[in-house]
Amino acid sequence: MQSVLTRRMLAFAVAAGLLFGASHVIAQPAAAPGQITIDNFAFEPANLTIKAGTTVEWLNRDEEPHTVVGVDPALPFKSPALDTGDKYSQRFDKPGTYKYFCSIHSHMVGTIVVQ
Amino acid sequence: MSHLKSDGPKTGNVTTRGASRRSVMACLAWAGAGVVWTVSGGIPKSLGLGGDAIAAQAGGFSFVQISDSHIGFKGDVNPTPGVTLQQALDDIAKLPTPPAMLVHTGDVTHLSKAEEFDAADQILKGAKRDIHYVPGEHDVIGDDGTRFFARFAKDATPGGWYSFDQGGVHFVALVNVLNFKPGTGGSLGAAQIEWLEKDLHDRGASTPIVVLAHMPLWPIYPSWGWSTDDSAQAMGHLKRFGSVTVLNGHIHQVVQKVEGTVALYTARSTAFPQPPAGEGKGPGPMPIAADKLKSVLGIRQIEIVPTTAAAVKDQTLA
């Protein structure tokens, strides 16, 4: 009896943990204004408007690695390969429109508008 | 090897340029394990296991293609790609017709890390044969391929591409994973296409040509990056030859197409499968039950027969 109870409590604890973990992950991307996630070969949001001085952080949640590479020669930025769960940050100080893409999957493109 | 299909490819399903998704699916439907076919004058026909295949072996020259070993990948579908790469080499060692050499059509590593190149090299040295490599986009991250070329293509031109002759065949190894621009597919670039034209210029039309490149040299599914933007220009320089075999990787599955005398094939991975074109959310690793994994990984043996034919034979690791 003791062991059955313990097992049930364990199962409950694991299930609760999973639920909490799942909702926590889903809630995360919307939290910070400068946050972009990578899911299923797409930047989300693909177009992000921020205030000058904001640091944007990209989080790769794909099983596939990605990169974040700026196109504008005035602000060259280039992440290393971001494996699953890896993050990369870039601060934007000057107003303007900055396009970027994934240099491994060049059909993945995004834009940062700095006001 | 022992259960090759005798119901060979249905040439009516072979796609034309700009393959629709349905026709890609049709190809996939019959591109099963162990299909043998011969390309004679550019028209593929099926071969039985018996006389034809043995005749092909007798007069020809044989090599093996492996692809997309992704050493460093840790995803759930195959956390140990080094083990499946090793099995591919073990299967190659058991082939009844020993291959003269191997070609690896890219994505040797997953993240272009030095330790991944080291690990891959250690395993691949076990093949005890020459291996000719072209890089995949996973092999050139962050350094434009410096580490890859230093280790796997020392004798290449400064751009990374090269050619060589073996067994009466002229091999051309192309690079289409550098200089990506936003929103485009793979790219060969003007300098490489010009080099290709010169490289082929003085060769007779009867010389069998084998072209190696990582990304497909025809538009299989451009919105997933399964294409090379300027492949048509390269193909223009190849179409005068009587037998051209183009071997690609990148999409982790077998898709085939014939255009005139040019036969194009993508290969299975030794690491993990990807979904068929357009199915699912993107071209990432496709989940599959652990006991089914080896049925979607594979190697390919190519037998070149003097004057006309290249026989291409895919087999899985299952």
Find which of A62, A64, A100 to mutate to test the B interface (most B CBs within 10 Å of its CB). Answer: A64
Enter the pTM of the model: 0.80
Contact A65 B282 (CB under 8 A): no
Contact B285 A63 (CB under 8 A): yes
3-state secondary structure chain B: CCCCECCCCCHHHCECCCCCHHHHHHHHHHCCCCEEEEEECCEEEECCCCHHHHHHHHHCEEEEEECCCCECCCCCCCCCHHHHHHHHHHHHHCCCCCCCEEEECCCCECCCCHHHHHHHHHHHHCCCCCEEECCCHHHCCCCCCHHHHHHHCCCCCCCCCEEEEECCEEEEECCCECCCCCCCCEECCHHHHHHHHHHHHCCCCCCCEEEECCCCCCCCEHHHCECECCHHHHHHHHCCCCCEEEEECCCCCCCEEEECCEEEEECCCCCCCCCCCCCCCCCCCCCCCHHHHHHHCEEEEEEECCCCEEEEEEEECC
- The string of pLDDT tens digits covering residues B14-41 is 222 333 333 333 333 333 333 333 434 3
Measured in angstroms, the CA of B282 and the nearest CA of chain A are apart by 6
Identify the closest residue of chain B to A105 by CA–CA distance: B225
- The string of pLDDT tens digits covering residues B91-140 is 999 999 999 999 999 999 999 999 999 999 999 999 999 999 999 999 99
Nearest to A105 among B75, B142, B225 (CB): B225
**Best CA proximity match to B216, nearest among B253, B182, B243:** B253
How sure is the predictor about B281, in pLDDT bands with cuts at 50, 70 and 90? Answer: confident
What interface predicted TM-score (ipTM) does this complex get?
Answer: 0.73
Contact B141 A103 (CB under 8 A): yes
Nearest to A99 among B182, B282, B284 (CB): B182
- Contact between B136 and B107 under an 8 Å Cβ cutoff? The reply is yes
